[in-house]
Each structure stands twice: as C-alpha cells, then as structure tokens.
Structure 1
Amino acid sequence: MTKTELHLWLQSSVNHSREKRQQIANVILQEQGLVPNLLDIVLTVNDPISCKAAWVLEFAFKENNSIIFPVIDKFLNGLKLLTIESSIRPCAKICEILMLQYFSKQENQVQKNLKEKHLELITTVCFDWLIGNHKVATQAYSMTSLYALGKKYAWIHPELRSILEKNYPYGTAAYKARARLTLDKIA
C-alpha cells in the first residue's frame, strides 16, 4: 500500500471510534512495512488526516511497541514540527509509554533500543509541550515523561517543579490534579 493509498484509507475509514482506530491499527500490526508511510502522514504538518494517522500509530504502538524502533529517529525528530493538537496528544502518549518502559525495573526492548539522543529529544519536546499552549492531556503525558527522565537527569526535577508551581494557579482541575501528583513524587 502506497502512502497515498494509506492516506485515502485513513481519510475514509478512521473516525473517533476506538473500533475504527483499532481496525486500522491491526492492519498496521500485520503489515509493519506500512509504519514508515503511517509516520510520514503523522508528521505532515497541517494535514487534518495526520491526527487520524497518529491515533492509529498510538493504538498499534500500545499493542506492539517494537513497531516504533525502526523509525524512532524520524518519529522523535518530527515531534517538534507537529501543530495539530489531535496529532500531538497521541504522540505525547507514545512518549509517556516509552519513558515508563525505559525506566521500568523489568528489562525490556525499550531500554535496549532508546539511546541518549532519544532521551534528549523526548526531554526537549516534553518541556516544549508542557510550557506551550497545549491541552491538558498532552501536558499530563509530558509531566509523566519528564518526571521519569528526572530520575536520570538531576536537573529535570527542579525545572519541572518550577514550571508546575508557576502554572498551577492558572491550570484546569485536570492540570492541577496531575501537577499535584507529579509534585508529590518529586518531593
């Protein structure tokens, strides 16, 4: 399936329903050669279909995180280009899952495949998402990722604490709840 065919299929077949997202994610999992084309669509700035592609990538990734490793450099380098919030949220969720697995006590594939440069890219984009004008879900996933990264990089927790304390009074109830949880962990 070409990128154009995949784009048309996403456009006509994916909607907000979990069922439709899962259906296409299953095809991606069966034909993992489609992942680079799917990622190209995710990273197409200002294309409304990019969010549909991101939803499918998130669903497929949750079932088999190894699908991201062949394209991890392109994925992480492309995150800073995303502008559509509905594309950013699933990518932030993927970053959160990567960080939770990377810092897991159980040995896993994420630990073997992520390098220092990948952690640095995730750190940068998560700080950008946290301080930028983004929805709560994206910011919450970023808080979790940054908290985990702070276990390796000592400078992150003080910086994260400072941002959360500064933005706390202006946050939504959901933002405040996640910020409190993160600040409690840091303390």
Structure 2
Amino acid sequence: MNLTREILKEHGSKQAHKIARYASSSPLTFKLLIDTYLTGPYRVTQRASWPISIVGEAHPKLIRPHLKKLLDFMVRDDVHDAVKRNTMRVLQFVEIPKRNHAQVIDICFELLQSKREAVAIKCFAMTVLSRVIDDKPELQRELKIILEDQLPYSTAAFKSRATKLIKRLPGV
C-alpha cells in the first residue's frame, strides 16, 4: 500500500481505519506509517495522525518504539492541532516508560496551561498527566490547582473531565 496516496485519497473514518488495519499488521508496516507521518508534507502528517491513534489504542505496544519521536515531533511550532490531539489521545493507552516521564509531564503541563490549545487536546493532556504523576504528590497538587483555576472558564467537556480527575486525585 502506498501510504501517502491512501492518506491523501480521502479523509474520513473509513479510510483512517483502513490505513490503521494495514499499518497494524506488523511493526514494519507501522514504522512505515510513522515515517510517512514524520516526513509529511503537512496535510499527510495531519491525516496520518488519526490512523496512528487508532493503532495506538488497539495495539499500544506498537507505539512504544516510536514514542520519543512522536513526543519530539508534537512540540514543534508548525504542527497541526490534529497532531497534538491524536498524540495526546494515543498516550492515554500507552504505558509510558519512566525515561519519558519528564518530557511527557512538561508537554502536558504546557498544553494544559496554554490559552491557545483546543479543549480536546487539554482533556487528553490532563488524562495522560494524571497517569504519569500517579506517584508524585507535588505534581498532583499542581495539576489540581491548574484544573481548579480553569474550571470557571472552561467548556462542559473540560469541566466534566477535570472534575472527575480532581475527585480521583489523592488527598492533595
């Protein structure tokens, strides 16, 4: 399958799932999708992020060898919101190695505190962050403060997820 051609052919759920099925057939085909995603161009990267998130949810172990590249890529200034959204979405399902925790924590706190980020990106970031700081009470307190500060000005989706998360945080 020519991934670039398939990605550009159409943009929708059916096509994203078709590409994800192909890419998840082996670590090699998944690497091809990751390489296509990372090399672009912009529209290819944007659209490839959806099949990557589909594969990551169904087969989280396929993501792990590419985690550092995905994290480094998503913080670039020129990436589409879809890249951030789908990267954060997939991180909810992946066991993040300790060696990547500091980078993930920094990214998630930055996304949560940004006034420019879309609500979906922030919601996924708060979930990922809550998993990574499970054993770090000082960061749990910081997360709680940030979420509580944003609650009065947030959308229903943000409020719902933040309220549930605050209740699950240990007595911080």
SS for the counterpart of 2:131 is helix
Tell me the TM-score normalized by structure 2: 0.86
Structure 1 residue 73 displacement after superposition: 2.1
Q: CA–CA distance in 1 between the matches of 2:104 and 2:41?
A: 22
| Among 164, 173, 179, the residue aligned to 2:147 | 164
User: Structure 1: which 5+ runs fail to align?
Assistant: 99-109
Conserved? CA contact 1:45–1:83, under 8 Å:
no
SS for the counterpart of 1:83 is coil
Code of the aligned partner of 1:185: R
Matched, 1:130 2:96: no
Q: CA–CA distance in 2 between the matches of 1:11 and 1:71?
A: 23
Greater mean alpha carbon deviation, residues 172-181 or residues 41-50: 41-50
Equivalence for 2:87: 91
User: Structure 2: which 5+ runs fail to align?
Assistant: none
| Among 106, 120, 130, the residue aligned to 1:147 | 130
SS for the counterpart of 1:30 is coil
Code of the aligned partner of 1:83: V
Instruction: Show structure 1 runs of 4+ deviating over 6 A.
Output: none
Equivalence for 1:115: 97
Query: Cα deviations across residues 72-126 of structure 1 (Å, max 9, x unaligned)?
Result: 221222221263112211111111112xxxxxxxxxxx3xxx4322122211111
Equivalence for 1:101: none
CA gap of 1:16–1:67, structure 2 versus 1, over 3 A, is same
CA gap of 1:45–1:85, structure 2 versus 1, over 3 A, is farther
Query: Cα deviations across residues 109-153 of structure 1 (Å, max 9, x unaligned)?
Result: x3xxx4322122211111122112222221111111112222122
SS for the counterpart of 1:152 is coil
Equivalence for 1:27: 22
Q: Percent identity?
A: 22
Tell me the TM-score normalized by structure 1: 0.79
Conserved? CA contact 2:23–2:32, under 8 Å:
no
**How many residues of Structure 1 are paired with residues of Structure 2 in the alignment?**
168
Structure 1 residue 44 displacement after superposition: 5.1
Structure 1 residue 46 displacement after superposition: 7.5
| Among 35, 39, 47, the residue aligned to 2:34 | 39
Q: CA–CA distance in 1 between the matches of 2:162 and 2:106?
A: 19
Q: CA–CA distance in 2 between the matches of 1:55 and 1:32?
A: 17
Q: CA–CA distance in 1 between the matches of 2:15 and 2:165?
A: 33
Code of the aligned partner of 1:182: L
Structure 1 residue 6 displacement after superposition: 2.2
Conserved? CA contact 2:3–2:19, under 8 Å:
no
